[in-house]
Structures are given as C-alpha cells and as structure tokens.
Structure 1
Amino acid sequence: MHFSRVMIGVLSVAVLFTANTICSAQTNIINTPRMQVIHHAVVNDTVVDAQTPSGLVRDLSDGSLVLAFQNKGDVVAGTVTLFVRSTDGGQTWSKPFASYQDPDKSVGTAVGFVQLPTGRILAVMMEVAHTDISVEGFKAPRKSRTIFADFDPKTAALTYVATIPQPPDSLVGAMPTNIIQLFNGDLILPAYLIPMDFAKPTPGTVYGSGLYRSTDDGKTWGQFELVFAKRADHPEIFYNESAIFEKPDGTLVAFARYDNETPAHKRFMGKAVSLDQGRTWSVPCDSSIAAICPAVLKRADGSYLMFAGALDERIPRTSMLYYSPDGEQFTKLGQPYYSRTDGHPWNTATGGSQLLIPLGDDHYSIAFYSADKALRGRDKTYIDSNVVKIK
C-alpha cells in the first residue's frame, strides 16, 4: 500500500557482496509456461470505491475461498475492510459476510492476511491514525499501530497475538500477503517504515524498506530490519512495497517498489539478496521489473510467480503476472482479463494491490482492482478476479 512518495536518508548496512554479483545482465528465460484465463468474474462492484484487495485464502473446513478488500485507498480515516466468499473456486463471489472498521473516526484500519503451507492464516491489522480525516489524509502527518493476529476464515474473526514494535510517531506499511516462514522457522513480514512527519524524524531511527521477524510463531516480534539500504549511485531512490522469496538453498531474494517521481517505465524494482536468513543483505540494485506492489508465490514445481502492477505497459500499473524459474529473473506471462472494461484497465486506478493463490492442477485464483467510468464514487473502482491456468 502506498503511503508516501518522499523519503529521508537511511543508514547503510553491512553487505555480503556487491550489486554486480546479483544484477548481472538479464538472460532470456527458456521454457516459459503459458498463461490462460479460464474464467473471470467481478468480486464486488456495489461497494462504492471498492479497492485494495488485501487477503485471499482457502477455508480448509469446506474448501471455499475468502477474500478481503477495502472501501478506501491508502488506509485513510474511516476505512472499512470487507470479507466475501466463493464456494465454487472463484467463479462467483458472495456479498460481504463480515466487515471491520475502527470505532475511532480518525483511524483507518486495513486487515490483510496470508495462508502458510501449514494452513495457518496470519493477519496483520494496520491501524493508521490521521491528523487529516479527509480522503486526502494520507498526504498529512499520520502514524500507525501494527497488530499481528490469527484469522478465522469462517467468521472473519481476528484473534490478537502481538503488537509489532515500531518507533513513536512512525508509520509501518506492512505487506501481510507476503508473509513467509523460513526453513529455520522464522516468520518474516516485509514492511517499510517512515516517520509520521518527514520534517520531524526520530533521531537515530533507520527508515526505509525492510522486514520484521518473529522467531516464536508470531508471539513476539523484533525491531525493524532494513533490507534496502540507501544506494550510493542513486541516493534519491525511495524503496517501499516489498516481497521476499526463499530459494531451496536458503538464499533470500527481495524485491521492492522504486517509488519516486521519475518516468514510470524507468522505475525498476530494487533487488537485494541475503545468504544468512536475512541478517545481512547485498547492496540493492535495479531488477528488470518495472512494477509496484508485488504479491509472490512459490509453485509446487519450484518456480515462482509474481503478480504486480506493471509500469511499462500502455496503461501504467496494469496488473501483470510474471514468471521465474529461479526466483531472481522474471519475465511477463500476461495480464488478467478486466471484467468490466473489455479485458483491459480503463485508467491507472489499478495495480496497487494484487492477490494470488493456487487452486491445484496448475490453476490459480487471482484478484486485483480496477476502475470503470460507469461506477459511482470518487475513484470508481471495483474488485475483479480471474481463474488462470499456468502450464
């Protein structure tokens, strides 16, 4: 989720190797699978300004799918998270069966969640307190509290587990759909940390894009760990939204959004690598992916998928599926079918959040948001979905 386009300086961290060792010339990926849209369906276009899909999981008790989305962008004051269900593998979706809203009108709360291979569903609640409660409030000073919880897909009940530590007067932009559990058992939550007021950062605090870590199944969380250090060759770059892969040999590969006011097609995601479970990272460098807000998935055959908003398409931010055989170099598979606008996005009100989960037999359910001028509201957005086959 996008909270700011401005960044203050961050401190450098120890690195294992130079950028040249992880950002060598891109090679063509052979034997790229083919993506086929099997089915497409609107998830919700009746909630005004429905956007930001933030969780997609399977209810193991009956096999249904549960999806969450919000009715406002940027977790502004009054944001409501709504929950819908599909009982036919993503071909149709119910009306919202539950919702969550903070009782404080100056607070916006976004609930996001992911399902681990064990079946456990982990949620993160981002409670953002605003000094400006308008829909433009994300431009004014604001701070957050970040809560880790267990999620019940039957009722959408959230069971408190822990509050993630952060400096006073700061905001954490978490990526709950990208939580992973490392081979050593650590839970990793990709996130970025910014000050409440850029004119008044907390002295001694390292801000930027990184992660939070729990070594006890989420009961407690360590302090923010920086992944994307400030780059000497491009000190102006602000990295935020991120995702992390763990490869079979334990190598971690991280990608993060390059969120600066430069031409969209030149905003290549940053890439960094760790060989020690994320304790130290390489110097970040440009990947070959010009995109925002990545959602990631490791496939059963060991390859990787990334679903993100492509900046180098005719309509920037078009949702796009990418494929990688190794978790490091990616190539485009194709865009989803936009159900309300003849297959393609109407404008750039898309790509800001994506979801994907496996359905089995090389089929996947994916969800995203887009806009249609025929809809009501400020943003005229709705939630869309596809079932795709990748083989």
Structure 2
Amino acid sequence: MEIFEMEPRLFISSFACVVCLCCFAARAQEARLEKVKDIVVYSDDRFYSAFPSVVLRADGELLLAFRRAPERRYLGESGSNHTDPNSYLVLVRSKDNGETWTPEPELIFAHPFGGSQDPCMTQLRDGTIVCSSYGWALLRGGVAEKVPDTLRHGDFVFMGGYLMRSTDGGNSWQGPILPPPVPDSVTQTVFREPCPAYNRGPMCEGRDGTLYWAVASQSRLQPRLTEVHLMASTDGGLSWEYRTVVARDDTASFNETALYETPNGDLVAFMRTADFNDHTAIARSTDGGKSFEPWMDAGFQGHPHCATALSDGRVLLVCGYRHEPFGIRARVLDPECRDIGQSEELVLCDDGGNGDIGYPWVTPLADGNYLVVYYFNKENGTRHIAGTILSVKQ
C-alpha cells in the first residue's frame, strides 16, 4: 500500500488556542490518503476501451460507462485512434465495491450516423442518470473536405453533442436529446446545422436542483480557439438554456471541464486547456452560475478532471498526466477549492505506456472508500478500463 501525506490546514482562533490545537490534531489524523490497490475493470484485446465515467447507485451498485470501439491493430491495421465509426457507448456493473464487474458490456447507445465519444454520467438526487456524449461521422472519398465551417478530424466530421437519460438504473435509456447550440458558435455539424452543445466532463446538480453543464464552443476554426460556456437545465436534462461564458481568451483554449459545487454554493470549473503548456485552469461563480470570475492558472499540468467530496468535507480532484512518467494524479483541496495552488500533488500510478491514457472519474464507494477509474495501457498495449481504490484514514 502507498500512503500519501497531505498538508493539514489550521484555522487559528485568537480566543481558543486549546481548541485550535485540538482541531489541528484532528485534521492531522484525517490527513492520510491510502492507496488500497489498482484494479482492471474491463479489458479485451479486440477492443479499444476508453473515456470512462462511474456513478454509485443508492443500493451500492456501481455503473461504469465507457466508449468501446474495435481495436484496429487486432484487425491488422496500423493503429487505432479516438475517432471510429464503430465506437459505441456501453456500461458494466459492480455490486461488490469494484472487486468484480459484469464481463459483457451493456449497450447505452449506438449512433446511427457515426461513432460516439466519452459517455459522461451524472446521477441526480432523484436517481435519474444523465449521460452526455458527442459524435463523429465518417465521410469517404474526400467528401469531408467539402463540408464547410465545421470541425474535422481526418475523414471524420463533427456531429455535435447529445444526451441520454435513464430513470431505472441504466437498464433502459431515453434519447438522444439534442441540446441547443451555444450562441455565436461558428461550428456547424455534418448535417450543416448549428452544432448542439457538447463537452467531456461531469455536470453538477446544484442545491436548488438546477443541473449545470460546462460546454465547449468554437469561437474560431482557423487556427482553432475554444471557449467554455455554462448551460443549465431545470427539468433533469430534458431541456437546456444558455447562462453565461465560463472562460475565454485570445490565445489559450479551454475545453473539457468538470464542475463542482462547494458548501457555500460556489460553482468551480476545472478546465483542460490547449496552447497553455497543458496547465489546468479554474474559474469560479459565486452567484449561482449567472457569471464567472476571471479564469486562473492552477499552476500544474494535467487533464481532464473530476472532483468529489471526501467524508471530511475536503475535495478529491483527479486528473490524467500525459507526460513522462505517464499516469494518474490527484490533489486534495479545501472544501471551497481555494487552495488549489498550494495543494500537494499525489501520484496514483505512473506506469502508463504512453500519453494515450487518463480521463479519470472518481466516485465514493458504499464501503467508505473511493474509486478512481480511467483508461490505461502498458507498453502501448490494449487500451482498457482500470481503476485505483483509495481510502481516507481517520
């Protein structure tokens, strides 16, 4: 087992030094994050499995969704990549805190026009699961080059975002639901229509029941420049309205974003960047998502992110690390997420085969531990879904 020591925080009271010392001792006792073990959730050398998300059901069952596509090397091709016409959204389940998982994935959705990416599940307080995704359509014979004013990845043309919903624990899914485009987005879809909002990352259900979603939008295609904006839903993801810009810049791009609501009601956005030395950026709203303060450089590399509250109120933030040594990293923040610049970096694993890894998602477990899931490879081998179980010692 690996034991990580985290810096305690001491809140000094001028009128009660004894209480202060007791609080320090209690905090110091809590400040031990222990790595229990690494696990493999799903691995099949015929498939390229990536981009997981995971939720804990009220009965203790875990649902883990991921994107599964054919492993093109298995079929004799030179390699696989992140766009494939046969990439589908699937899920597996665990009823024993991640020790074992159902061996055959269940289908969430197969898009009729192309491959889907990054099934991002958010579970609402009423048990509804909202799963966001986006897709790429393959156009052969040079047709992709003729599609104007949109995003392209080789012969793949962007289809924009969509959402699926389940009200029965992932046994059935309704959708796809097409969210509205971000105002002033310059991107059209393969269908030559305004691009529905999209992004990778966890949504956040606010204390008033509003569902917040940080979405990406292209403000410029050549050279590409991406912003992050806030969408909101008051009916559990069935319909959406635009709220405000989260982060924009003249040179740095912002995209994959995790949202987290603090005890004081602040919305904190942890954002992946481009053209910014791979640094994490953060932005904060103190008025319920009506506006965001200017974005800030968090001062460290890593992407994308996911955050969850620990049992003592602090926040566990996880991210992928696509630099040598390749792996998964984490930080523990104060409950309001204001000490991110001073937080200690924790290495959960550092034995990845290359930069094609990461995209972690974190959830509490029914037994009080925490599970961080991600996609991984060793020595450029099979892309598979893996995880790390963590324990916070009191």
Question: Is TM more than 0.5 here?
Answer: yes
1:35-79 deviation line (CA, Å, top 9, x unaligned): 22223221112153433233212344x532121111245454221
For residue 298 of structure 2, the aligned residue among 287, 290, 293 is 287
TM-superposed deviation, 1:361? 5.5
Q: What is residue 230 of structure 2 aligned with on the other side? A: 211
Distance 1:298 1:75 in 2: 33
1:119-160 deviation line (CA, Å, top 9, x unaligned): 3322224233344699xx734562324333322565542123
TM-superposed deviation, 1:324? 0.2
Opposite residue 189 of structure 1, the aligned amino acid is W
TM-superposed deviation, 1:306? 1.0
TM-superposed deviation, 1:110? 4.5
Q: How does 1:174-253 map to 2 (within 5 A)?
A: 174-176=199-201, 178-194=202-218, 198-199=221-222, 208-223=227-242, 225-230=244-249, 235-253=250-268
Equivalent residues of 2:329, 2:348 under 8 A apart: yes
Q: What is residue 12 of structure 2 aligned with on the other side? A: none
Equivalent residues of 1:106, 1:131 under 8 A apart: no
Distance 2:198 2:179 in 1: 12
Query: Is 1:381 matched up with 2:383?
Result: yes
Number of matched pairs: 336
Equivalent residues of 2:318, 2:328 under 8 A apart: yes
Distance 1:297 1:88 in 2: 20
Distance 2:154 2:351 in 1: 30
Equivalent residues of 1:79, 1:101 under 8 A apart: no
Q: Secondary structure at the match of 1:92?
A: coil
Q: What is residue 302 of structure 1 aligned with on the other side? A: 313
TM-superposed deviation, 1:362? 4.1
Q: How does 1:46-195 map to 2 (within 5 A)?
A: 46-60=44-58, 62-72=59-69, 74-100=82-108, 102=110, 104=112, 106-108=114-116, 110-131=118-139, 138-139=153-154, 142-151=157-166, 154=169, 156-160=171-175, 162-166=177-181, 168-169=188-189, 170=195, 172-176=197-201, 178-194=202-218
Which is worse superposed, 281-290 or 119-128? Answer: 119-128
Q: Secondary structure at the match of 1:77?
A: coil
Q: Which has the higher contact order (CA 8 A, sep 6+)?
A: 1
Query: Is 1:349 matched up with 2:356?
Result: yes
Q: What is residue 23 of structure 1 aligned with on the other side? A: none
Distance 1:71 1:120 in 2: 23
TM-superposed deviation, 1:297? 0.9
Q: Is the alpha carbon distance of 1:244 and 1:328 closer, same or farther for their aligned partners in structure 2, counting shifts above 3 Å?
A: farther
Distance 2:129 2:255 in 1: 24
Larger radius of gyration: 2
Distance 1:350 1:114 in 2: 22
1:278-337 deviation line (CA, Å, top 9, x unaligned): 2111221211332111011123432111110135x6424x21121101313232453335
TM-superposed deviation, 1:224? 6.6
TM-superposed deviation, 1:172? 4.2
Q: Secondary structure at the match of 1:50?
A: strand
Equivalent residues of 2:50, 2:383 under 8 A apart: no
1:68-125 deviation line (CA, Å, top 9, x unaligned): 1112454542212222122211012221241245353544355321223443322224
Equivalent residues of 2:60, 2:366 under 8 A apart: no
Structure 1 length-normalised TM: 0.75
Equivalent residues of 2:179, 2:197 under 8 A apart: no
Opposite residue 344 of structure 1, the aligned amino acid is D
1:212-267 deviation line (CA, Å, top 9, x unaligned): 1112332320137321022xxxx32111111222222222222211222x6xxx43
Q: Is the alpha carbon distance of 1:80 and 1:133 closer, same or farther for their aligned partners in structure 2, counting shifts above 3 Å?
A: farther
1:150-202 deviation line (CA, Å, top 9, x unaligned): 225655421238421016433644235x111112322101221237x92599x
Q: What is residue 22 of structure 1 aligned with on the other side? A: none
Equivalent residues of 1:194, 1:207 under 8 A apart: yes
Query: Is 1:328 matched up with 2:326?
Result: no
Equivalent residues of 1:110, 1:127 under 8 A apart: no
Distance 2:283 2:158 in 1: 28
Opposite residue 255 of structure 2, the aligned amino acid is N
Q: CA RMSD in A?
A: 3.2
Q: What is residue 368 of structure 1 aligned with on the other side? A: 374
Q: How does 1:2-41 map to 2 (within 5 A)?
A: 30=9, 31=28, 33-41=31-39
Q: What is residue 288 of structure 2 aligned with on the other side? A: 277
Equivalent residues of 1:38, 1:388 under 8 A apart: yes
Structure 2 length-normalised TM: 0.74
Distance 1:63 1:98 in 2: 19
Q: Secondary structure at the match of 1:71?
A: strand
Q: Is the alpha carbon distance of 1:49 and 1:171 closer, same or farther for their aligned partners in structure 2, counting shifts above 3 Å?
A: farther
Percent of aligned pairs sharing the same letter: 18
Structure 1: stretches of 5+ with no match in the other structure: 1-27, 338-342
